[in-house]
Amino acid sequence: MARTLLVGCSFVQNLQVDKESSRYLVRGTSGAGNQSIAARVMYECSREIFNRVIVIWSGVNRLDMPVAKDLHDTFPRGSHGYPSYAFYTRMDPVVWYHSGGAYLSGTSEECPAPVRSYFKTQYLAATPRYLTDLTLQSIMATQGFLTQQGIPYDMAWIYDVDEPYTDESIEPGCGQLDRSSPFNHLVDWTKFSTARPIFEHCRDCGQLEDGFHPNQSCIIPYLNQLFQIDLEAIDLHP
């Protein structure tokens, strides 16, 4: 049965819904950047037929690094048998590591040394234009793929990418889009929701759990309204 694919970062991962229902496949990873989100769309669409795709794009400032599974398997293991750094997405045989999370924690000591070195080097001269171009290229690639496959789709941002949040807790992992990029006019912006972004909506409603992530009572009905879908919350306390 064809169903809807919903892809994003922790805003999607944290949804307390049936992530593999007959109608929806919900896929998100904490700290995911837009390169890995684009790859996730293509990966999932290669494995299953969807009649609709919804992409909620993450922070412009976030970076991703593809790592071969065999290299990933050599990284130090944590107490539960997994690599000690949690921000990665497996898309066998590729494992995407993410720089996102609080204060770009992909550059912290918990991250495997080769990945940490890559992210630190990438951020040394990372300008808003550089980070914007990577995000816009990911969006263009995803739109081109979905159009070529004939899959209807909708998109949104987790936050207002035109707002400079220089003094707020959502930096440095989000960032402002540089509209001077030559790629800006190549994106089909008509596919993006024009409603107030999720972060700002839930913040204005006083419905943020940790100063950044929306709580379930706010985000689920908002996504239902935004995309005309009917995600149902799981009752965790029957």
Q: Which residue's structure tokens are 């690094």?
A: 65
Model pLDDT, residue 168? 64
State residue 129's pLDDT score. 97
pLDDT value, residue 76: 82
Question: Does 236 score more than 60 pLDDT?
Answer: no
Q: Is the pLDDT of residue 75 over 50?
A: yes
What pLDDT sits at residue 210?
Answer: 85
Listed in sequence order, the residues at least 6 apart from 44 whose beta carbon sits closer than 8 Å to its beta carbon are 5, 7, 25, 27, 50
Q: Is 157 exposed, middle or buried (0-12, 13-18, 19+ CB in 10 A)?
A: buried
pLDDT value, residue 238: 39
According to DSSP, residue 50 is labeled: E
What are the φ and ψ backbone dihedral angles of 89, each rounded to 5 degrees? Answer: -130, 125
Average pLDDT, whole number, for the chain?
Answer: 91
* pLDDT average, residue stretch 113-133: 93
* Average pLDDT of span 71-99: 83
pLDDT band at 77 (very low <50, low <70, confident <90, very high): confident
Nearest to 135 by CA among 60, 41, 29, 189: 60
What proportion of the chain, given as a percentage, has pLDDT over 70? 92
Res 13: pLDDT: 95
- Rounded average pLDDT over 88-98: 95
Instruction: Mark 69-108 as b/e (b = at least 16 C-beta within 10 Å).
Output: eeebeebeeeeeeebebebbbebeeebbbbbbbeebbbbe
Residues 211-232: what's their mean pLDDT? Answer: 94
* DSSP3 helix / strand / coil % (the chain, rounded to 5): 35, 20, 45
Architecture of domain 3-227: 3-Layer(aba) Sandwich (3.40)
Rounded Cα distance between 120 and 99, Å, is 9
Residue partners of 235: CB distance under 8 A and separation at least 6: none
What pLDDT is stored for residue 51 in this prediction? 97
**How big is the chain, counted in residues?**
238
pLDDT tens digits, one per residue of 34-51: 999 999 999 999 999 999
Q: Is the pLDDT of residue 237 over 60?
A: no
Residue 29 has pLDDT above 50, yes or no: yes
Mean pLDDT along residues 207-216: 90
For residue 233, the model assigns a pLDDT of 80
Note the pLDDT tens digit of each residue in 148-181.
999 999 999 999 999 887 666 677 889 999 999 9
Locate 87 and state its tokens. 């921000």
- Helix (H) or strand (E) segment spanning residue 5: strand 3-8
Alpha helix ranges (H) inside 83-182: 113-124, 128-149
Work out the pLDDT band at 31, boundaries 50, 70, 90. very high
